[in-house]
Amino acid sequence: MLFGAILGVRAVPEPQPSPRSVPDLGPGTVHSRKEPPLSDLSPETVHPILVALGSEPRALRLVHTGFRMAREQGRPWVAVHVAVPDWETAPEADQAQVWLREARDLGAETAWVTAATVCEGLIQAGAQCRADQVVMGHSRPRGLWDRLERSRAQEALRRSLGVRIVTLALDPAPGGRVARSVGQRLGAVLAVGAILGMCGVFASALAVVAGFPGVPPVFALGVGFIAHRWGRAGSVPATGAALGLGALLFLPGPPFRAEGWTRLLVLAGILVLVQMVVLLVDRLHQETRSLHRREAESLLLMILGRALGRCASAREVAEVLAERTRGMFQAQAWLRVPELDDTWITLPEAPEPPACPRPSVLLPRFGRGANRTDPFAPLFLEGCSFVALAGQGGADGLLQLRLEGGRPLAPDSWGLFQSLAVQGALALERVRGLEAVHQARLATESERLRNTLLGAVSHDLRTPLAAIQGAATSLLLPEPLPEATRLDLLAMIRDESEQLNRLLSDLLELTRLQNGALRIHKEWQLLDEVVGSALQRLEARGGPLPIRVDLPASLPLVPLDGALMEQVLINLLGNALRHAPASPVTLCAWEEPGAVQLAIADRGPGIPAELHRRVFDKFFRMPHARNDGGVGLGLAICGAIVDLHGGAIWVEDHPGGGARFRITLPLDGAPPEPLEPEPSPLSLDTLP
Amino acid sequence: MTQPLILIIEDEASLRRFLVPALANNDYQVLTAATGADGLAMAQSHNPDILLLDLGLPDLDGCEVIRSLRQWSRKPIIVISARNQEQDKVQALDLGADDYLTKPFGAEELLARIRVALRHATQTVADTQVLQFGGLRLDLERREVAMDGIPVRLTPLEYRLLEALAQRAGKVATHAQLLNEVWGPVGAGQTHYLRIYMGTLRRKIEPDATRPRYLLTEPSIGYRLNVD
């Protein structure tokens, strides 16, 4: 893509990358991900290496080359992708993002440049980051024109930036290719024949014109080239043919002379030697190449392992695996996890993942007993390759890969594919372990809570019950009690049962709030009314209370659940009255952009700063609090209710002494339509 | 005047055990039924003056009982329900129940509700053109409102709202009932209208709007004009 853009060889203009994946920065903008921005590099900074990344799969080589060069030279490096509007497709842009991310993982600063041509974009990026070396890939030129274009583009770059340009072939190198079809084979035979013929003519010409015995070196050259180009399959017959030709040249006319035979033997020796050397060198070359590929693969696996190590859920593991697999194989990939009901969960979710046999059918084929010729070979079914993510109990899931056109995976990629599966399996296992730990922690927590609850409940329920029972049995005694005692006992029964009722209501409320059984029912309400009804309930017990309420008439309607918020106010005001007896309690509210603030303040002893958070815990009671019937649920309930409203509750020191509880309630959602104003107050004559 | 007859439809024996003597001791005749079906049969055979109905009956939904009763009887029904059943209460009230009590409740509260319900059953608004609740005076004929003798100027909607509450003074009026009576069908579901008007009405009538003495809020259910 990159060089395609420079060379202009891409015939089909392609749509611009979608704004979803690529921030549209407008033409000529450079977007850098790391600090300092590209343009801010000071002059004395070491010149970085600029690596121009395209979106083709082999751009990964560029990433690694850039990384290696930067490390060797001890310099920073910048990976840049030039997006040419109307040229790049959305998947290509996505892929380029993947390469940029990879580069970032390897320590590069990355930039995304939008420009009219790739060359222009590179000049821009190069100038801004003061690079003195540009690494770029090139495809194999397809003719003279390509070559010319490319050198022109490189020349332009070199001129405007004054940089050294390193190009890397992105296509697989030719050579070692084996002719397959009949036509190719025929062509090869013809080519071999032609080469040998030319060698013969050339050698004869040398001998005739210069008197130089050129047959062995010339034929050695020819056979060497053939061995390099077509391998053993070409060079062995070619050696035979060359010997035949040599025989014709060295042994002219009957009968065969002994001198000719020695020459022929020498020629044969030379040819075999040359052939062996060339084949050996080629093999070495190939090994080196595959070594490089393995190195790249292991680097990729390392990056994958690091990315997987950051995942916290099976879903994330699947997403990372799918994305990297897509990058490595240019293919679609999914994780299939078996469910209890013999179906698959497909991760990441795809609208239409390819068909896949049921787990009970597919999974046994990965078991130990399954006979497969090559343990590394993925299972190939209906256009998809599968490998198992082996867990403790056999296959935990499958990694499914679909190459374009439903091709099977080439054997030299099996190892990589299996390694991906192993990494995925390890990551899944780790994630599951994390989940198990989390669950265990939750279980311990709820166990602890249950114990506290049981302790608190058994104590706090028994106390009023004991009082009620005692009072009632005393009243039932045969000896009549004095009237005053009788009334006192009866009042006690009433008070203690009220206390029991409060405790049970609190427990019930908190349970319902916390297990999600309670559905919040928000309505747009006036705070006046909620405050009023809270005061009404508080004062119903014992007459007017020293609570000063300051609510501006301009307060807007607030979306809240009246009954729940009333409970919050009752708990907070009740607490203030209990803990700060005989001190004035104030309740005020004001509007802020997007929220309404409430404050309930007292002048009591206050709450130490280190307990500001803990007071909202369940069963938390102030140290040295007197036994006043509270069980430490009130504030926990307040917290849960305010949470349900999407608001916040906290406590702070009241300036001047005491505690101040604060609540923020968000004013979210569309407020109700304003009412049509009523024209005038009622007057008799306007009425019917 | 004969003693009013009260029918208690309540499945829990302990509650009946407390209700029967408490009511009998206050000059009421008491009948009890433990199931909804029994209760309906007894209501037809004895025609009680007032019914106490538990919403959580074993055989019938309390609302079913109200619906059947309301097909032939206008006698007051007071619903008894547990806490956190606001929706059931609202439904029962909208179906025609007159008032509700939340368990647990005290005897005095129960007696007060029964008194209010019986008073409403025996008098109609048409009899009395001037209503007096503490300092609040409402002249239905002249459509005048005064607080402690000082006239209060209300908008037509505010007046209609106050009137609707006054016509069920002492009893709870649900949001739906008030919206329907004041705004008509267009008011359905527009509870915030009601809240805003109640707010302005309170500011005009109540000495302290956040400590209402007359216009009490029944959270999640509706409002009540206090007669005590």
pLDDT tens-digit readout, B136-194 = 888 888 888 998 889 998 898 899 999 999 888 888 999 999 999 888 887 777 888 88
**Cβ–Cβ under 8 Å, residues A298 and A315:** no
Q: Which of B83, B143, B198 sits opposite A505 (nearest CB)?
A: B83
**Cβ–Cβ under 8 Å, residues A562 and A525:** yes
Q: Which two tokens mark A422?
A: 């192993």
pLDDT tens-digit readout, B29-64 = 999 999 999 999 999 999 999 999 998 888 888 888
The sign of the dihedral angle between the CA atoms of A226, A231, A234, A240 is positive
Q: Which of A494, A528, A686 sits opposite B210 (nearest CB)?
A: A528
Q: Do B220 and A557 touch (CB under 8 A)?
A: no
Distance CA A50, CA A303 (A): 21
pLDDT for B114: 92
What residues of chain A lie within 8 A of the CB of B195, using their CB? Answer: 523-526, 529, 557
β-bridge partners, B79: B53, B100
Strands B222-225 and A164-169: unpaired
Beta-carbon contacts of A529 under 8 Å, excluding residues fewer than 6 positions away, are: A562, B195, B198, B199, B202, B217
Among A529, A547, A560, A573, pick the best mutation site for testing chain B contact (most B Cβ within 10 A): A529
Q: Which of A73, A106, A83, A68 is nearest to A19 (CA)?
A: A83
Touching check for A441 and chain B: CB below 8 Å? no
Q: Domains in chain B, start-ordered, CATH in brackets?
A: 5-122 (3.40.50.2300), 125-225 (1.10.10.10)
Distance CA B226, CA B217 (A): 10
Distance CA A615, CA A620 (A): 6
Beta-carbon contacts of A504 under 8 Å, excluding residues fewer than 6 positions away, are: none
- B79: pLDDT confidence band, cut at 50, 70 and 90? very high
Q: Which two tokens mark B184?
A: 């008509």
Q: Do A557 and B192 touch (CB under 8 A)?
A: yes
Q: Do B104 and A508 touch (CB under 8 A)?
A: no
The number of beta carbons lying within 10 Å of the beta carbon of residue A80 is: 28
Touching check for B102 and chain A: CB below 8 Å? no
Touching check for A549 and chain B: CB below 8 Å? yes
Looking from the CA of A679 toward its CB, the CA atoms found within 13 Å total: 2
**Displacement of CA A352 from its chain's centroid (Å):** 21
**Cβ–Cβ under 8 Å, residues B51 and B65:** no
The H or E element that residue B164 is part of is: helix B156-166
Distance CA A493, CA A487 (A): 10
pLDDT for A75: 84
Residue B222, pLDDT > 60, answer yes
pLDDT for A181: 65
Residue A275: exposed, middle, or buried by beta-carbon count in 10 A (0-12, 13-18, 19+)? buried
Distance CA A23, CA A578 (A): 58
Beta-carbon contacts of A520 under 8 Å, excluding residues fewer than 6 positions away, are: A561, A564, A644, A645
Classified as helix, coil or strand, A19 is coil
The DSSP output letter for B56 is B
Distance CA A664, CA A641 (A): 12
Distance CA A277, CA A135 (A): 34
Place of tokens 């910048």: A78
Distance CA A606, CA A673 (A): 42
Touching check for B228 and chain A: CB below 8 Å? no
pLDDT tens-digit readout, B104-120 = 888 888 998 999 888 88
Strands B50-54 and B5-9: parallel
**Cβ–Cβ under 8 Å, residues A524 and A672:** yes
Touching check for B184 and chain A: CB below 8 Å? no
Classified as helix, coil or strand, A661 is strand
Q: A-B interface: how many C-beta pairs under 8 angstroms?
A: 86
Q: Which of B143, B159, B199 sits opposite A529 (nearest CB)?
A: B199
Looking from the CA of A105 toward its CB, the CA atoms found within 13 Å total: 19
The DSSP output letter for A209 is I
The H or E element that residue A395 is part of is: strand A394-402
Q: Do B210 and A531 touch (CB under 8 A)?
A: yes
What residues of chain A lie within 8 A of the CB of B154, using their CB? Answer: 681-682
Q: What is the CA radius of gyration of chain B?
A: 18
Name the packing angle between helices A414-475 and A483-514 (round to 10°).
Answer: 170
What residues of chain B lie within 8 A of the CB of A672, using their CB? Answer: 190, 192
Among A490, A505, A521, A682, pick the best mutation site for testing chain B contact (most B Cβ within 10 A): A682
Q: Do B217 and A672 touch (CB under 8 A)?
A: no
Touching check for B189 and chain A: CB below 8 Å? no
Classified as helix, coil or strand, A60 is helix
The number of beta carbons lying within 10 Å of the beta carbon of residue A636 is: 22
Q: Do A682 and B153 touch (CB under 8 A)?
A: yes
Residue of chain B whose Cα is closest to the Cα of A677: B155
Distance CA A206, CA A466 (A): 126
- Closest approach of chain A CAs to the CA of B8, in angstroms? 23
What does pTM read for this prediction?
Answer: 0.53
Residue of chain B whose Cα is closest to the Cα of A504: B83
Distance CA A61, CA A54 (A): 11
- Closest approach of chain B CAs to the CA of A526, in angstroms? 7
Cα dihedral A215, A220, A226, A227, rounded to 10, equals 150
β-bridge partners, B6: B30, B50
Classified as helix, coil or strand, A444 is helix
Q: Do B86 and A494 touch (CB under 8 A)?
A: no
- Closest approach of chain A CAs to the CA of B98, in angstroms? 21
Whole-angstrom distance between the N-terminal and C-terminal Cα of chain B? 24
Q: Domains in chain A, start-ordered, CATH in brackets?
A: 2-169 (3.40.50.620), 182-285 (no CATH), 523-666 (3.30.565.10)
Touching check for A251 and chain B: CB below 8 Å? no
Looking from the CA of A495 toward its CB, the CA atoms found within 13 Å total: 13
What residues of chain B lie within 8 A of the CB of A675, using their CB? Answer: 193, 196
pLDDT for A41: 43
For chain A, residues with pLDDT lower than 70 are 1-45, 57-58, 139-144, 146, 169-181, 250-259, 367-375, 391-395, 456, 516, 624-630, 673-688
Q: What angle do CA A609, A615, A618 make, to 5 degrees?
A: 155
What residues of chain B lie within 8 A of the CB of A539, using their CB? Answer: 211
As for the ipTM of the complex, it is: 0.81
pLDDT for B39: 92
Residue A493: exposed, middle, or buried by beta-carbon count in 10 A (0-12, 13-18, 19+)? middle
What is each CA distance from B83 to A242, B53, B62, B219, in whole angstroms? 106, 15, 15, 12
Q: Which two tokens mark A445?
A: 């927590």
* Largest pairwise CA distance in chain B: 54
Beta strands in A459-574 (DSSP E): 523-525, 547-550, 558-560
Place of tokens 């040295």: A624
Touching check for B126 and chain A: CB below 8 Å? no
pLDDT for A144: 67
**Cβ–Cβ under 8 Å, residues B79 and B57:** no
Looking from the CA of A80 toward its CB, the CA atoms found within 13 Å total: 34
